[in-house]
Amino acid sequence: MTTVSSVLLGTGALALLLAAAVPGWDTARLPKRAVKRRVYWAGTVVGAVLLFLGGLPDVQSSVAFVAAAAILMIGWAYFRTPNIKLGGHIRSAYAPHREPDPPPGA
């Protein structure tokens, strides 16, 4: 494993951790939960891309890193957060997380 691969893998893991840890904030148009959801999924995508690049030139390792990150982040989002919203409905294992987003500033 090269130094570049190690840096990319470490940065990808850091992006995943920050995606889960950075709190949301209210904006004029979006509530805190919506902003947090966008930060979470943007960090997940960035982290997955960095993990894929860090695993190269071994494509099998790259795919395994991305699959592990996807399972981890989707599982965390479903079981612990209201971060999965499909078709206007929040999907979550925990009933209080399924509530609609509050209005901005609430």
Output the tens digit of pLDDT for each of the chain's 106 residues. Answer: 799 999 999 999 999 999 999 999 988 999 999 999 999 999 999 999 999 999 999 999 999 999 999 999 999 999 999 999 999 999 999 999 999 998 887 6
pLDDT at 106: 62
2, amino acid identity: T
pLDDT at 11: 97
Beta bridge partners of 86: 89
* Reduced 3-state DSSP string for 15-78: HHHHHHHCCCCCCCCCCHHHHHHHHHHHHHHHHHHHHHHHHCCCHHHHHHHHHHHHHHHHHHHH
